[in-house]
Structure 1
Amino acid sequence: MVKLRTRSLSIPASAFFVVATIATDGSDDRRVSLLDELVESDFVKISRSPDFDHFRSIEGLGEANSIPLDYRNFAASFASLRLKTCTIYLQRTFPRILQIQYSTTGAIIGLLMDDAASLTLNGVEGRAPALLLVKGSARCEIVEQQANLVALVNFDSVDDRGWPGELDRAQLITTEPAKFDALRVTLRDVLMLASHSPDTLVQPGVIENIEESILQAADLAMAAATPSSEAKRLSLSHYLALVRKFDEFVAVNAGKTLYSADVARQLGVSVRTLHNAVVAIRGMSMHRYMRLRRLWSVRQQLLRSASPQSIKAVALVNGFWHMGEFTALYRELFGETPQQTLSAARKQTGEPS
């Protein structure tokens, strides 16, 4: 059962206020409850996606592409709060492969908002109390095997704050649990305040003091942080480059039947090496990853309203020769048959189904 309690947000004495925060009675409702407790205001904007076909990535963080690992029971939403020198995002994600090019003039800090959450960044596992830190522009390969609640803060500038990390690189850094939790609580409190008491933020100096509280919490977390194993990062760099080449090869040869031996030969590696790279970076076998991409290719073509008799042709072009197996795999991933996808797409365009 979710209860509300009040707590004071630790900010300079020039702005005192009380905000509501979420407490749980030993259950893991916090991941859901925090975002569900937010409401739109003059400061907080909320976006909810009814399904993946209408999903849009968080704006303002960079170019992104998501491939869901489970299309059924899709639920994704995010809230954003723009202050004067930073923007806070709170996102409920979904099981997926996320390819994103983060871009910022200052720095992006990301953190998982509950201890059960986890992901991998460029093959390195991230759990609390690990922080994502991006300075400048960095391309990331992220795998989320489960839905997570994630907070990201995009700072316009972080000059002279002494934070670790290199320019144009993303990394996971581990901090002390107490410092990590303090940053979590600060972000929760700020989001709740801006959502439920937006009038407070229009008072002179309050936003500046809120931003200072966020920076102070981030400074303390960064001061206690240590980079993740450099040896682990270097051992994965070859695999990361190989998987990116593999994705480029698949994209260039879209619509063609690809065989693992031929792909590996084109990339100049063994099938075993390519398989190991995909497992390390994507968290699944090469066979499953290629099949996932082919199923999504079929869906995208069907959503463009190909003619009904072309379902088999589209499946064949994408390497599915066993129609019964193809239909079962498609239904398992998307929760509907290829014909249902096609019919829904044609209704939206006004074409007869």
Structure 2
Amino acid sequence: MLIKNLSPSPALSVVQFTDIDAFRPAEFVADARSVPLTLANFHTARAIVQLPHCQIIVLTSFPRIVDVSYRAAHGIVIFQLQDAYEVSVNGLSVDRPTFVGMRGNLDLQFVEPHGSLHAIIILGAGLRDREWFDTPDELCPFTPHADDLAMVRSVTTRILQTASAKPDLVQEPISALAIQEGLLLAIDEMFRRSRTPELTNRIASRGYCRLVRMIDEYVAFHAASAIYSADLAERCGVSVRTLGTAVATVRGMSLHRYLRLKQLWSARAQLVKGSDAVTVTSCARANGFHHMGEFARLYRATFHETASHTLARARGSD
């Protein structure tokens, strides 16, 4: 893997996590919130290079649902560094080479059934408008020409390798500007020959994302209550079928499984704080579980340990 072969340097930041409970607080600070779909062989890593007027972030992800809030006044470009991947972005299924361009304020909802390696290019104020983006505050997915995407991937990879092995080249102003211009020219060509998906799919996806946000807000404010699909659909002003379709499209799973997953991760977040006032029973009930046998079974199946083990480890008594 690319990041594993990189060494940190004055020009390259590299951070790796093998503990989900250590990773989640760090990710939250970055304004991203993940719900892993499995904890088997958990590993994630992040490498960052700062160029004069843009930042390159490369991420090794894992099977997950993730909500990300981007505040990118000057634009952002996201693309995969490998062909073997499958992802959904705001309900738009991506199982072929695709990249995303956008600027402004956007809330994106990703589902990654499998881990992947992707790059994020965040543009800074020092760059002139290269006419990559049309409408602000809107997700713009594109299908690139294969050769153009290969070039952008190659240039990005070389920049990270240079930052690792020869950091002086990335830190010296003149050479850094040349490195940056090579990347921008490659992205120019990728945008020039790309195609956009059907508008009707994007409009339908937007409505489904709105419904999922309404579900998330309702669950957050009624965490301890039993949640019934019919009541939830009525509050959202749609049928149960439409609500189920929205969750399946945006989150990649059934409404019932999604609600249970959110409740389980909320309970775990309380347990890993290790507070003396917290008990397994109180956490379960505070997150909508009123049958302890069911909670114990689902918790062990999801996290591969008991809730009491999680709490004991958090308190340092494991």
Q: CA deviation at 1:127?
A: 4.1
Within a 5 Å distance, the mapping from 1:1-353 to structure 2 comes to 33-55=1-23, 56-57=26-27, 63-157=31-125, 158-203=127-172, 205-305=174-274, 310-347=279-316
**Per the alignment, do residues 308 and 138 of structure 1 end up closer, same or farther by CA in structure 2, a change over 3 Å counting?**
closer
- 1:76 and 1:94 in contact (8 A); partners too: yes
Conserved in 1, the CA contact under 8 Å of 2:52 and 2:173? no
8 A Cα contact 1:308 1:342, kept in partner? no
Structure 1 runs not aligned, ≥5 long: 1-32
What amino acid is the match of 2:136? L
In the alignment, the residues of structure 1 paired with residue 173 and residue 53 of structure 2 have an alpha-carbon distance, to the nearest angstrom, of 16
Larger Rg: 1
SS in 2 for 1:159: coil
Output the aligned Cα RMSD: 2.0
Report percent identity of matched pairs: 34
Q: Deviations over 1:69-113 (max 9, x none)?
A: 112321011000011111111110111111111112311111111
CA contact (8 A) 1:174 1:227 kept: yes
Contact 2:10 2:167 (C-alpha < 8 Å) held by counterparts: yes
Q: Which runs of 5+ in 2 are unaligned?
A: none
Secondary structure of the residue aligned to 1:220 is helix
Cα gap change, 1:210 to 1:127, in 2 (>3 Å): farther
| Partner Cα separation in structure 1 for residue 63 and residue 267 of structure 2 | 20
> For residues 201 and 153 of structure 2, what CA distance do their matches in structure 1 show?
27
Q: Does the 8 Å CA contact 1:106/1:155 hold for their aligned counterparts?
A: yes
Deviations 1:16-44 (A, max 9, x none): xxxxxxxxxxxxxxxxx211111101100
Deviates more, 1:195-204 or 1:325-334: 195-204
Q: What amino acid maps onto 2:241 in structure 1? A: R
Q: Deviations over 1:44-90 (max 9, x none)?
A: 0011123111112397xx62211111123210110000111111111
Alpha-carbon separation, structure 1, partners of 2:210 and 2:280: 35
Secondary structure at 2:139 match in 1: strand
User: Is contact 1:308–1:339 with CA below 8 Å preserved after alignment?
Assistant: no
1:312 Cα deviation after fit: 2.7
* CA 1:58–1:259: 2 relative to 1, 3 Å: closer
Q: Distance in 1 between matches of 2:6 and 2:238?
A: 50
CA contact (8 A) 2:271 2:278 kept: no
Deviations 1:129-181 (A, max 9, x none): 21111212111111111111111111114533121432112221111011011
Normalized against structure 2, the TM-score is what?
A: 0.93
Give the 3 Å change call, closer, same or farther, for CA 310–159 of structure 1 in structure 2. same
Q: In structure 2, how many angstroms separate the alpha carbons of the residues matched to 1:279 and 1:127? A: 16
When structure 1 is superposed on structure 2, of 168-177 and 211-220 the one drifting more is 168-177
Amino acid at match of 1:124: L
